[in-house]
Structure 1
Amino acid sequence: MAKKTTTSKKRAVSTDYGADSIQVLQNVEHVRARPSMYIGGVNKDGLHHIVWEILDNSVDEVINGFASKIQVTLSADRKELTIADDGRGIPVDKHPKLKIPAVVAVFTQLGAGGKFDGESYRHSGGLHGVGAAVANALSERLEVRVKRGGKIHEVAFVRGVQEGKLVSRGKARGTGTEVFLRPDPTIFGQKALLDPDVLRQRIEAKSYLHKGLTISFVDESTNKTEVFHHADGIAEYLDKLITVRGKPAVHKGHFYIERSDDPKLELALAWTEASETTINSYVNGVPTPDGGTHEQGLRSGLGKALRAYMQAHKLEPKGLTIGLDDIREGLIALFSVYVLEPQFQSQTKNRLNNPEVATQIEGVVRPALEQWLHENRSLGDAIVARVILSARARAASRAAVSSVTRKAAGHAKIGLPGKLADCGSNDPAKCELFIVEGDSAGGSAKMGRDRHTQAILPLRGKVLNAAQASIAKVLKNEELGNIVKALGCGIGKDFDIRGLRYDRVILLMDADSDGHHIATLLLTFFYKYMPELIRSGHIYIGQPPLFRVDVGKQTHWAADDDHLKRILAEIKQGKPEIQRFKGLGEMMPKTLKDTTLDPKKRQLIRVGIADELATDRTIHDLMGKDASMRYEFIMERAADADEIDI
């Protein structure tokens, strides 16, 4: 009786559903029918994944001490690849149950491998006996040559199916395995090509992970051969990553540990000026881009070690919560761990799931890092300073987000402040912003400036103390708000230095105690809410004169009282006439230009941070809400004060 069917525009579906409707696909057939189940997809990543399966088998021989050399050869047309090692060679004798050569079983039977009992391989990246068979099933052609027992043994496969018998011939010195494969274009596409850059990166990473390994990459498409061997392992790899990221480390010495007992691991890490966190982790030599329990243990160990160090040396800032994100910000870590029975999330091995590993890793990392911090106080303090700055920036960002969400979406683009006398140039590299004290000083500066490259923003009196104010108050403050608008790089979470409209931001205050106080308030604001401007060298302090000394036709400018005394001491003839400027507003525009604005004549002090931790302490002790810190500071130095400006 014919089966009844219902038809649609897409396809015909049988209404009969019996035992004969159940298909049983095994081994090669199942892999080819559902490749994404085994390699994650038939895209570029999947194409290279079948290479990693073969490469990892060779690396497993290295991990367990049976091989030291691997060669990877990419064909000129980039459609074929050969991987050879000097390991033990895959067994070629007949399997007692399957009655076929073991090497044939490895490449045709899912679940056939030598890594189940823990005897042939103590640590291994391949555990399921699937990888070689998957690579074979998805290859148009795959050939295996094994050197073992003094002979060369060869067998070939076409789309996973054995072609001819295993052949043994000639004489061979040593042992090893060579696998040639050509990925199947009917699976990956006719235009699919192996990428030499992708291959090179993985090969180089392997050479760093395994100190004794020498791995060669022969790229016939460019006639180039590279040999990778790194005696210092991942410690050397860390230096390279820091260089590639382009962000220097905040401490000179790297933290490094190596452990041979279970859990066997190697870890190298450093904190950098970068805002992102980079953790490259590996389990049994296999990269785990999605992390897993080993990374959980690492993160927990880092956090507990840093917090214990801060508590021991009383470095915890008052009123500030340090989170794990603050501790990890800027971190670059290379972490390689070996697990006896790893449980990966899938055949692609992107994530480790062993629950016991997290506790094991934390138990190793925490005491080792804590001891290293105590033994290297200067490095430890530099790391803590980096963490505190991150925490303050994150707190400011949260407050800024809370404030910004209350504003209408249409206000995202904020206009320039009305008091700003902007410059004509649109090239930030050539532009300067002078933040001046008062409208009268602003008037003189506007008339004495170079209108093409110099912008002037006058402030009204002393600005808000940002160390004692919330981000909401800072954003509502007119004077500080005008600075944020003029700079154009945002604040808090929205800060992006690429939007900075001026290469130099120059604080131009009167050369008296009030001017110094205003400059201090502005520096506090920049340090708390725009620290990257200081770190990048964009903040300067102008040096206007406090005195004018005329002797005959000569004019001298004195920055302060001590400078005035030195000038007067050098005058041998004539009677000096001394004029003390009460403020910049008293200066004629030409005088202000000649002494303070003209790049050829002026003096500027670039603001920098020599010691992050000391700077953080000073600003938050002397400018923060706790008045007792300031009182103590003043009383300790009261005897040194010659004159108090009230």
Structure 2
Amino acid sequence: MSTAAKQYNAKDIVALEGLEPVRKRPGMYIGGVSSAGLHHLVWEVVDNCVDEAMNGHASEIKVTLHKDGKTVTVSDNGRGIPVDKHPKTKKPALEMVLTVLHAGGKFDGNNYKTSGGLHGVGASVVNALSKELTAVVKRDGAQYRMQFAKGVPQTKLQKLKGAVRGTGTTITFSPDPTIFPKTDFDSETIRMRLETASFIHRNLKVTYVDEVAGTQVTYQHEQGIVDYLKKVLQQRNARPIHEAPFTLREENGDRMELSLQWTESTDEHVRSYVNGIPTGSGGSHETGFRSGLTKGVRNYIDTHNLTPRGLKISHEDIREGLIGIVSVFTAEPQFQGQTKDRLNNPEIQPFVEGILRPALEQWMNANRSVADIIVARIIAAARARAASRAASEAVSRKGGAKRTMLPGKLSDCVSGGRGKSELFIVEGDSAGGSAKQGRNRNFQAILPLRGKVLNTESATLKKMLDNKEIQDMLTAIGCGIGPNLNLANLRYDRIILLADADSDGHHITTLLLTFFYRHMPQLISEGRLYIAQPPLFRVDIGKETHWAADEADRDRILAEHTGRANPEITRFKGLGEMMPKVLWDTTLNPATRRLLKVEVDDHLETDRVISDLMGRDASARFRFIMDRAEEVEELDV
């Protein structure tokens, strides 16, 4: 046994006190210190205001992004956090809420029937991770203020002079730059979250002030999620196949609201919420929704004997083209983690299913003309899926093939098994040739693609599976596609997209990302998909050579070497004109290259962007171009 091991004793045990655990391990409480974690601070404070509104104590919420872009104020007209002294600690309740983990008014169920925050953690976590935080409370005709820094009180609770009307809480905070690499908030991200809150909570007035842009907007929706469904349909450019959506509101202990509509789109899109909090990873409420929907529709089809002979209708056929909003309110939500991305309550599944199935079946029977349109769309989906099944199975068989059945253009690596192997999917035969010569053949495989890749967002499943380039990619990767994807059969540890650094290369990368996001999302969620960063410029200054990824990188290099020898700048037309050694040094060599890991922070926003930029409806792209035309400095044609 080593000396170090023998000396391990009680003094080596560290007990973190107060809010120290939050500052030491912020990822446990907000998921990380990336942009998503930074904005989660805003969500925590806003959710507390929404809890007041959800329980009938507030009707207005106001959020302000201040001019520095790093400070946010959130206020409501609720009851105001209590300021009297706690009987045990003798500290003001406001101080306890903001400095003690698991301190709050949502544990006994007396003050909040439903809420998004049940752990008493959110407010204190925001305080712990803020450089500065100021809380102002209006209660009992008076106004109180208390200031904090990094979770530590800087002042005692102060009662301000003068009487005030109304009640409410106002929190102003600035994230701590020693915790977060970037502390600039994204205005559009905040605006979208607030707009969604106004949809989920009918008649709640939500105001957002952006002092950076000098704008203010107020949201209030009488129809709630029905208005939200219209908004989502518009965002996704989806054309409904029936006019009126199916809408359901039910309260039986727990409360559920949902609205859904079938469209001409080929994918299913469901957004779910629990007590107003978006659950991007779904959970028991979504499972109950899908189960109730499938059973309700299937019962209608079976009752009226509408299934064509020899055709099997699956749950995917029933849900194809469906767009739905599901909102559940429950007293004791069991979320998966502090970020509340998934609901785990097992009792919610039968609750949602038991209400939805009979209600949907009754609605279809009462609206036979609409129901028959929906069933015709489902049958068409089933027939299309049957027509493409043979092609899909052929691709799946190739996915598990041996080396002799791999694509002829694939230059595989020598090492057997996945190990640390890499597959570079390269744009064009010319670039593929340079990559094959420059790679380390022991662990790097090269698959060149010919020309522009198929836009899978606009293509049918059959057309996609018939495409030679798609077939080659699937066969080389080896793990299958869609519901048949099995990561255990993945032939490489990393899949790396390698295209030119110019606009054409970016377009090809976007096409490939669309394919992987829609049909092989597990590669992204498991951290297997990367984007290579080849240089666009070579900058020679004296005897030194620098590589620039883009114009901004080139300008930075030039600025850093101002006054030295006249620089010689070479712009690469493409990867194919790079010498193999140069491509190795700049792009392939693990010791010197730059790779971007493909990650998705916001699935809803990612879905919207892909739908807008790559979907069939060109109007969204036209609006995007017109809105941003003035931002273009150089046009690469």
- Give the TM-score of the pair, scaled to structure 2: 0.63
Match of 1:389 in 2: 380
Distance 1:405 1:158, change over 3 A: closer
CA contact (8 A) 1:301 1:362 kept: yes
Q: 1:131-530 alignment to 2 at 5 Å?
A: 131-169=122-160, 170-189=162-181, 191-404=182-395, 408-410=405-407, 491=462, 494=465
Q: Post-superposition shift, 1:382?
A: 1.3
C-alpha distance in structure 1 between counterparts of 2:460 and 2:351, whole Å: 45
CA contact (8 A) 2:292 2:353 kept: yes
Which stretches of structure 1, 4 residues or longer, exceed 6 Å deviation after superposition? Answer: none
CA contact (8 A) 1:400 1:493 kept: no
Q: Which amino acid aligns with 1:166?
A: L
C-alpha distance in structure 2 between counterparts of 1:405 and 1:359, whole Å: 35
Deviates more, 1:198-207 or 1:386-395: 386-395
C-alpha distance in structure 2 between counterparts of 1:369 and 1:278, whole Å: 18
Q: 1:589-600 alignment to 2 at 5 Å?
A: none
C-alpha distance in structure 1 between counterparts of 2:348 and 2:77, whole Å: 32
The one of 39, 43, 56 aligned to 1:52: 43
C-alpha distance in structure 1 between counterparts of 2:152 and 2:286, whole Å: 40
Match of 2:426 in 1: none
CA contact (8 A) 1:393 1:492 kept: no
Q: Which amino acid aligns with 2:394?
A: S
Q: Post-superposition shift, 1:317?
A: 2.1
C-alpha distance in structure 2 between counterparts of 1:141 and 1:276, whole Å: 45
CA contact (8 A) 1:396 1:492 kept: no
CA contact (8 A) 2:82 2:93 kept: yes
C-alpha distance in structure 2 between counterparts of 1:392 and 1:144, whole Å: 60
CA contact (8 A) 1:263 1:361 kept: no
Match of 1:73 in 2: 64
C-alpha distance in structure 2 between counterparts of 1:405 and 1:360, whole Å: 38
C-alpha distance in structure 2 between counterparts of 1:337 and 1:133, whole Å: 26
Distance 1:489 1:123, change over 3 A: closer
RMSD: 2.3
C-alpha distance in structure 1 between counterparts of 2:326 and 2:396, whole Å: 39
Q: Which amino acid aligns with 2:364?
A: L
Which runs of no fewer than 5 residues in structure 1 stay unpaired? 7-12, 414-487, 500-646
Question: How far does the alpha carbon of each residue in 1:353-392 deviate from its partner, in whole angstroms, 9 at most, with x for none?
Answer: 0111100111111111111111111111111122122222
Q: Post-superposition shift, 1:490?
A: 8.2
Match of 1:444 in 2: none
The yes-or-no answer on 1:39 pairing with 2:30 is yes
C-alpha distance in structure 2 between counterparts of 1:238 and 1:172, whole Å: 40
Which runs of no fewer than 5 residues in structure 2 stay unpaired? 399-404, 411-458, 471-637
Q: Post-superposition shift, 1:314?
A: 1.1
C-alpha distance in structure 2 between counterparts of 1:495 and 1:384, whole Å: 28
Match of 1:612 in 2: none
C-alpha distance in structure 2 between counterparts of 1:26 and 1:294, whole Å: 37
C-alpha distance in structure 2 between counterparts of 1:309 and 1:279, whole Å: 22
Give the match's secondary structure for 1:355.
coil
Question: How far does the alpha carbon of each residue in 1:589-642 deviate from its partner, in whole angstroms, 9 at most, with x for none?
Answer: xxxxxxxxxxxxxxxxxxxxxxxxxxxxxxxxxxxxxxxxxxxxxxxxxxxxxx
Give the match's secondary structure for 1:266.
strand
C-alpha distance in structure 2 between counterparts of 1:302 and 1:201, whole Å: 28
Distance 1:326 1:116, change over 3 A: same
Q: Post-superposition shift, 1:404?
A: 4.3
Q: Which amino acid aligns with 1:95?
A: H
Q: Which amino acid aligns with 1:180?
A: T
Question: How far does the alpha carbon of each residue in 1:88-124 deviate from its partner, in whole angstroms, 9 at most, with x for none?
Answer: 0000001111211001100111110100111100010
Distance 1:406 1:18, change over 3 A: closer
Give the match's secondary structure for 1:314.
coil
CA contact (8 A) 2:245 2:261 kept: yes
Q: Which amino acid aligns with 2:322?
A: L
Distance 1:381 1:493, change over 3 A: farther
Q: Post-superposition shift, 1:263?
A: 2.1
Give the match's secondary structure for 2:347.
helix
Sequence identity percentage = 50
Distance 1:489 1:131, change over 3 A: closer
Question: How far does the alpha carbon of each residue in 1:463-517 deviate from its partner, in whole angstroms, 9 at most, with x for none?
Answer: xxxxxxxxxxxxxxxxxxxxxxxxx988365268x99xxxxxxxxxxxxxxxxxx
Deviates more, 1:322-331 or 1:301-310: 322-331
C-alpha distance in structure 2 between counterparts of 1:154 and 1:393, whole Å: 64
Question: How far does the alpha carbon of each residue in 1:201-225 deviate from its partner, in whole angstroms, 9 at most, with x for none?
Answer: 1000001111121110000000000
Match of 2:77 in 1: 86
Give the match's secondary structure for 2:265.
coil
C-alpha distance in structure 2 between counterparts of 1:178 and 1:33, whole Å: 27
**Computing the radius of gyration over CA atoms, which structure comes out larger, 1 or 2?**
1
C-alpha distance in structure 2 between counterparts of 1:116 and 1:380, whole Å: 45
Match of 2:594 in 1: none
Give the match's secondary structure for 1:300.
helix
